[in-house]
Structures are given as structure tokens and as C-alpha cells.
């Protein structure tokens, strides 16, 4: 994932699930809703996404360790 505010620093996140409309990820840090970025690929499969997305919700993880984020794709496939 490349965030638009720091597009030279790629960050990896654990993908919890994915749908046609977006991705739910796990992060050690909370993020602001409305942040935008660009998904580059899904690892370990290496599937390329190349899709812009936006944080639409953030909540504490169920185990209390970190956060879950809902990312919405900004362009259709």
C-alpha cells in the first residue's frame, strides 16, 4: 500500500478479507477516515491490484491488539 501523503514509503498490512468493493486490513496504528492511497499488490500471492482506495472506517481489533480498517476501492475493476 502506498499512501498519497507519503507515496515513496510502501507499507505492508495483513489483509483480513477482500470484496469487489474494498479490503479489510489489520494495522498496528489507527488511521484517519478519508485517507487515500494506492493498493499495489497482495502478498504472498503477488496479485497486482493497482487500485486507488480510501479509509472509510477504523475500529479496534477484537483481540485489542491494533486496529482493523475498511478500505473502499475508488475505481471499479
Cβ(12)–Cβ(43) under 8 Å?
yes
pLDDT at 54: 97
Strand order in the sheet with 14-18: 2-3, 36-42, 47-60, 67-73, 22-27, 14-18
Which tens digit of pLDDT belongs to each residue from 15-61?
Answer: 899 898 999 999 998 899 999 999 887 766 767 788 899 999 999 99
pTM attached to this predicted model: 0.85
Amino acid at each position: 500500500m502506498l499512501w498519497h501523503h507519503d507515496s515513496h514509503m510502501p507499507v505492508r498490512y495483513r489483509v483480513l478479507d477482500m470484496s469487489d468493493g474494498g479490503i479489510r486490513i489489520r494495522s498496528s496504528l489507527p488511521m484517519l477516515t478519508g485517507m487515500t492511497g494506492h493498493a499495489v499488490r497482495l502478498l504472498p500471492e503477488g496479485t497486482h491490484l493497482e487500485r486507488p482506495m480510501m479509509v472509510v472506517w477504523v475500529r479496534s481489533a477484537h483481540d485489542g491488539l491494533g486496529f482493523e480498517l475498511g478500505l473502499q476501492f475508488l475505481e471499479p475493476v
